[in-house]
Chains A and B, each alone.
Chain A
Amino acid sequence: MDSDLSPQDKKDLDKFIKFFALKTVQVIVQARLGEKVCTRSLSSPTGSDWFNLAIKDIPEVTHESKKALAGQLPGIERSMCVEISLKTSEGDSMELETWCLEMNEKCDKDIKVSYTVYNRMSLLLKSLLAITRVTPAYKLSRKQGHDYVILYRIYFGEVQLTGLGEAFQTVRVGVVGTPIGTITLSCAYRTNLAFMSTSGLKCTACKICHYMFSHFLPYPPYSPLRTAPIMGIIIDHFVERPFGNVGHMHPCNYRLVTPGEDEGAYNGVEDSQEVCTTSFSTSPPSQMGVPGKEGGVPQQVPVQPCHGAQAEHRRVSSCPPADHVPATPSSSGEDAETSSRSVGVKSGSPWGVLETTFTRKVGAFVNKPGTQVTTASLDLPFAAFAPRAYDLEENDPMVQPPESSATSSPLQGSLHSQGSGESGGPAQDDFVMVDFKPAFSKDDLLPMDLGTFYREFQNPPQLTSLTIDVSSQSMAEDLDSLPEKLAVYEKNIDEFDAFVDTLQ
């Protein structure tokens, strides 16, 4: 089969299949982020937009995809699957759909790789964009938030549909024939939404059930979206939010990196941004994920790459680094479970091997520590009112962090300690400590917070010209002192005239 292909065509085809798989995952996951996706059309090709489509690459998703592929390509009996599931705040989870990228043995040997296959893959990605907005999971993902979140899992190998329950529906997105087989892209989605939690047939988060129940009304027989009737849903009504302590379940605002923005938060260059012009010139060598050198977000690079057929669930629309950070040993046992799954302990890399790099951005109103300053050298407003007790700085935690002074910020200190732990690290590792630098506050000079500053200067002393002592002087005394004052002024009249001249 492969021997009929020229080496260049084979190389191109492998590259196309690889990037097609990566872009497929990106489209699916981004469609489940819960936000509207918008990318710009560019009249001139940039050379980095595969299949002439503006599909952004979320580095974490690319990383997970490559981890699942583990250097292989989707092929015959080697399918790549993206599983989308829903997880409630109480820990109940349910698979919603499974997207399958498969290949069968039907070959099209006459097809042109560098033209037809490429264009048809582009068309298939457009179809995927359209279909991902049509399946029921899309609307659920747009409403995710406090009650539930959407997770994704990428795996390679045999397609697993048992988690979708009975009577799941399948929709075929499209096919692309190639000289080595026919690529098919399809989606199997759940129709039976009865929750089965550990406590039996109990359905949490009534909002989800109400919504999903109303959505999955029976369709006409010819409808491809026809579902089986839903039975056995027990709805619990909550008066108040039952899970106020699981703030980590809330999706964070996920910022997609676009060319030109600060890419330092994630990997600087991905090989998915290789040159991909229509002339298909050679691509730059692929680069492993490199920890970002800028930005306030830590990156973790496992020393041993993960192999195997399965990757762990990743939470869609999350702050990716949060998933890699070990959970606080809080009262919720689920936190630890989530963290242990998300950290990828199964990869075999112990915590101690994980390396973390972090660089803190200096924000506004932040005075860089370590500089010796005095009130006399600074032109500060109200400097005359500043207390001169500089020795207070030594005892002020805002100025001197509790950690060793070897670290330039308390945050770096906590992150280093995180990397050395086995099972999670100290409690403050989960909290990003931000040195609050309010306006008018310089902690190395005036050791006070905004509240203290406000209280101190709320009642300033009166002006001397308005004091009672001055006003108590009698008019007669003023008149008596006038001649004397006039004599002094006449003596210095030249000086006054020179002053007036400078004003003109």
Chain B
Amino acid sequence: MNCRSEVLEVSVEGRQVDEAMLALLHTILLHRSTGKFHYKKEGTYSIGTVGTQDIDCDYIDFSFVRVSSDELDRVIRKAVGEFKDAMGNGTDGMGQISLEFYQKKKSRWPFSDECIPWEVWSIKVNVVNLANEQERQICREKVGEKLGEKVINIVEVINQHEYLPKMPTQSEVDNVFDTSLKDVQPYLYKITFQITDTLGTSKTTWFCAY
């Protein structure tokens, strides 16, 4: 199976990094989350309900929809926060945050389970510094428009209906979905990021497995 890979690029001001990343990651996760599965004895299962909520950005003229799950939001915010810290506050730089959906393949002892990615979203971020308030105001609107384009791109890709893992049996649900959350069930995912410093060619990679 080939892993589908999509790359999105945005240029933002330092204080916009958080919201821009949250907007795109939550838009992707909205499409890659289902309600909680409840398996029944006869082999069928029922699915819980996914709620949604509108989020207005403070530093960007943009609003997006995310899954109504505070737990999921906390996890994503934590990852984005670490990414922003790694990018440095207020400095120019480039970074990339990746959201990878994967399946687990059980292996026999002593081998560990294999994680097979089936979809990877990479968001390349270019952080810029602005000189005055007028530029910041223009940046607010421009970044908002750019994020709108990215949301459209995300929707276009997702609605191509390419590979999705098969719905698992009860014994295999943890190989496909993240069942740790109480209210929703996203596909198994991990967030990683890497930073490229403009001063040099060094790369730093952090892995944040969730």
Q: A: which residues have CB within 8 A of B?
A: 36-46, 49, 52-54, 115, 120, 123-124, 126-127, 129-131, 133-134, 138-139, 142, 171-175, 177, 214-215, 217, 219, 223-225, 277-279
Contacts and interface: CB of A to CB of B under 8 A. Distances in A.
B155 A224 contact: no
A60 to B, nearest CB: 21
Contact of B151 (A41, A54, A130, A214): A130
A41 B183 contact: yes
Interface pairs A-B: 8 shortest CB-CB? A174-B159, A36-B54, A39-B51, A54-B51, A38-B53, A41-B51, A41-B183, A134-B148
B121 to A, nearest CB: 14
Interface of B: 27, 30-31, 34-36, 38, 44-54, 56, 61, 63-65, 67-69, 141, 145, 148-149, 151-152, 154-156, 158-159, 161, 167, 182-184
A215 B141 contact: yes
6 contacts: A36-B54, A53-B51, A130-B151, A133-B151, A139-B61, A224-B149
B152 A123 contact: no
A131 B46 CA distance: 28
Given A37-B52, A224-B149, A279-B46, A43 B35 contact: yes
A120 B49 contact: no
B44 A44 contact: no
Contacts of B45: 278
B172 to A, nearest CB: 17
B198 to A, nearest CB: 24
B44 A42 contact: no
A490 B125 CA distance: 100
Given A49-B49, A54-B52, A134-B148, A42 B35 contact: yes
A131 B69 CA distance: 20
Contacts of B50: 41, 52-54
Contact of B54 (A37, A41, A223): A37
B68 A39 contact: yes
A278 B151 contact: no
A134 B155 CA distance: 11
Contacts of B27: 130
Given A44-B38, A130-B27, A278-B44, A224 B152 contact: yes
A278 B158 CA distance: 22
Given A54-B52, A129-B65, A42 B183 contact: yes
A227 B86 CA distance: 37
A115 B53 CA distance: 26
Most interface-central of B64, B141, B156, B161 (chain A CB within 10 A): B161
Contacts of A131: 151-152, 155
B65 A45 contact: no
Given A41-B35, A53-B49, A54-B52, A173 B148 contact: no
B120 to A, nearest CB: 19
Contacts of B141: 214-215, 217
A223 B149 contact: yes
A138 B53 contact: no
Contact of B69 (A41, A139, A175): A41
A38 B51 contact: yes
B51 A42 contact: yes
Contacts of A138: 63
Most interface-central of A42, A130, A278 (chain B CB within 10 A): A130
Contacts of B158: 123, 127, 174
Contacts of B44: 278-279
Contacts of B49: 41-42, 45-46, 49, 52-54
A41 B31 CA distance: 14
B190 to A, nearest CB: 22
Contacts of A134: 148, 151-152
B30 A130 contact: yes
Contacts of B151: 130-131, 133-134
A130 B65 contact: yes
Contacts of B38: 44-45
A37 B56 CA distance: 11
Given A42-B35, A43-B183, A115-B167, 8 more contacts: A36-B53, A37-B53, A44-B48, A54-B50, A130-B30, A214-B141, A224-B152, A225-B148
